[in-house]
Structure 1
Amino acid sequence: MSQHLLVTGGAGFIGANFISYILRYTDYHVTNVDVLSYAGDIGNISDFQHSSNYRFIKSDITKSYELLAAFDKKYDAIINFAAESHVDRSIHNAVPFIYSNINGTFNLLQMVLKGKAKKMIQISTDEVYGSLSSNDLPFTEETPLAPNNPYSASKASADLLVRSYYQTHQLPLIITRCSNNYGPLQHTEKFIPKIITNALNNKEIPLYGDGLNIRDWIYVEDHCRAIHLVLEKGVAGQIYNIGGAEEKTNRDVIYEILKQLGRDKSLIKYVEDRKGHDRRYAIDSSKITKELGWKPRIPFNKGIQHTIEWFKQRQNGAR
C-alpha cells in the first residue's frame, strides 16, 4: 500500500529539496502545503510539480480552517518545514514568526492528536541552543535551550510544544535540529546566496562585525538524507541533531566563494554587527550517526561548488 507524506513549507528551500529527494529515491506520495510567502517560491517546485506522486495545496498552517483542506486523507507522517526563518527579519518584526513557527506548529499537533497523521517530524534548528564560545564543546541533544533572537525563540517555543504533546499525549513526535544549510533553491536574502549573487554581479558583500562568527555548514541534500532516515527509523520522543562538521567563520566562507568565482576580496564591506548575533554554532551529530547510521557525505568545498554552479545557471535563465 502506498505511503503518504504531508510536507508543510514544501515550496521553501529545504522543504522543496526534501520533496525532490523523496520523489527521486522513494515511492512515497507527497502532499505539499505552502502559503507561498516570499520564501515559498513556486519555481522551487517546478521540477516535480507534474509528478504522479505529488500534489500541491496552497494553505496557511496558521489558519486551522485552511489547513483542513489538506486532511482529506490520513497521512503516514507530517514533516513540518514551514517556518519564518530569517533572523534579521525577526529582529525587525517578530509577529510573523510567532504565528508561523508557534501557532502553525500547534495546528499541526492538533491534527496528529485527532488521528489525522500517524506521526510528525518537527524540523528545527541549532539556533535554539544559543551561542557557543570558541572553546565550548558542540551542542548535543541535551544542551539546554537558550535562544538569543526572536526567530530562534519562536523555534524553541515550537519545540517545547512538540515535547509537551509527546509527554502529555504520548504522540509519535520527533524533533530534528540542524546546522546551517546551503545549496540550490535557497532565498537570496540568506548569507551564502547573497555572497554568490553579489559576487557574480561585482556588488559589495556586507560582512557583519569582525567576520569571525562561526557556523557549522551542511549541504542541503545531506540534511534531506538525514530526515529520510529519521522518518524511516527515528524513535518517537527523540531529538536528533544533524550537523555538517564544517565549522567556518563567515569571513572564510566569503573568501572561499570569492576564490571559486575568481573575484577580489575588495568586494567585502564590513558593516555594523546585528543585534543578538550569536558567536558560534557547532553540532554534535554522534547520536544520529550511532543510532541511525547517518553522516554527511558532501564536503564544503564540493557543496559550495555545486551551489555556485546552480546560482550561475539561475542567473543565466536556467534552473
Structure 2
Amino acid sequence: MVRCMGAIYCKLADPPLVCHGVSSSPASSFSSMSALSPQYLGDMWSPGYKRESNLDSRLINPFRVEGLKEFSGPYNAMVEVPLICRDRRRLRDVEDILHNYKLILQRLETVDPRRLKNDEKLAFWINIHNAIIMHAYIEYGIPEGNVKKTSLLIKAMCSVGGCSINAAMIQGYILGCRTHCSGQWLRTLLYPRLKQRARDEWQAHAIEQPDPLLYFALCSGSHSDPAVRIYNSDRLFHQLESAKEEYIRATVGIWEEQKILLPKLVESYAKDTKLSSQSLVDMVQRYLPETLRMAMQRCQQARSKKLIEWVPHNFSFRYLLSRELAFPHIN
C-alpha cells in the first residue's frame, strides 16, 4: 500500500518531478546518483523553484529552519511533493496503480492483527496509517484550514478483519500516539463519540504500549511531519531509531549561537520519554555533523536563559518520500 502511494505521489506531484537521463537499471547505485551535479539535484528533487548559486534551498533545508544550518544525511536524497494534481488526465495516469492499491486494501478484510507479534503489529499499523491518509488526499483533495485537515483523519478509512477503522482511531486506540494534526478539535469532537463503541472493539488489536518513536514514523501530510518510508517488523527498532536521528538532523537549527531551534514534534518525544533539557541537547548533539555540534556547544556556553526554542508545527501540505519509495529500482 505504501509503495503504491509513493508511486502515485511521484506521478501526481505538482509541479511534476523532472528526471533527466536517470538510469532505471537495477545496477544503478544511489551513491553514483549522489555524485551528480547540484543543478541536476535541483532538477530532480525540487523542480519549478528558483535555485540558489550552489544548491536548491529546499534541498538544503526542506524544513526551512532559520539560523545557522548545515543540512546532510538521508533527507538529502528524498523527493519532496509540495502539492498533488488531481485533474482527470493526471489521475488517468495512475489508474492502474490505484487499482492495485484497492486490491491490497480488500485483502486487509481477511487479516486478523491479533495473530501478529507486537513488532509486526507496530509495522503493520504504521504502514496502514500512512497509506490511508495519502489515499484520502487523492480521494478528497487537500483541505483548506487545520480543522478540515484534521477531519481527513476520520475520512481516511479501511476495513481490517471485517471492521472499519480510520486513521484517527489507529492513532488513538491502536498506537496511542496522536500526530500534531489530531488537535483539540478532534479530541473533543471525535473521541468522546467513538470511545464506547470503538475502544473495546479495537483493544485486542492495540500494541503492547505506546512508543514515543512513533512521532518520527507517522505522517499526516504536514510540512513538519517526518518522511514517509516503509517499515518492516524484522528491523523495526533500527528503522524507528534511524527515523528519529534523520528527522532531528534535518530539522535542528542554531540562531545566532544563542538558541537551539527544534520542532515541536521533538518536544512531544522529549515529554513522553521524560528527557531533561540537558539530556535532550546531549542526544541531539550525537546526531549532528561537527560544525553544528560545535555551534550547539557555543550556545550552551552563552548561558542563555532559554536555550531551546520550539519551532511551531507547520500544518501546510507537504510530503517527503524516502528513496525506497521514489526510486525503488535502486534498492
TM-score scaled by length of structure 2: 0.31
**Bigger Rg, structure 1 or 2:** 2
Give TM-score scaled by structure 1 length: 0.32
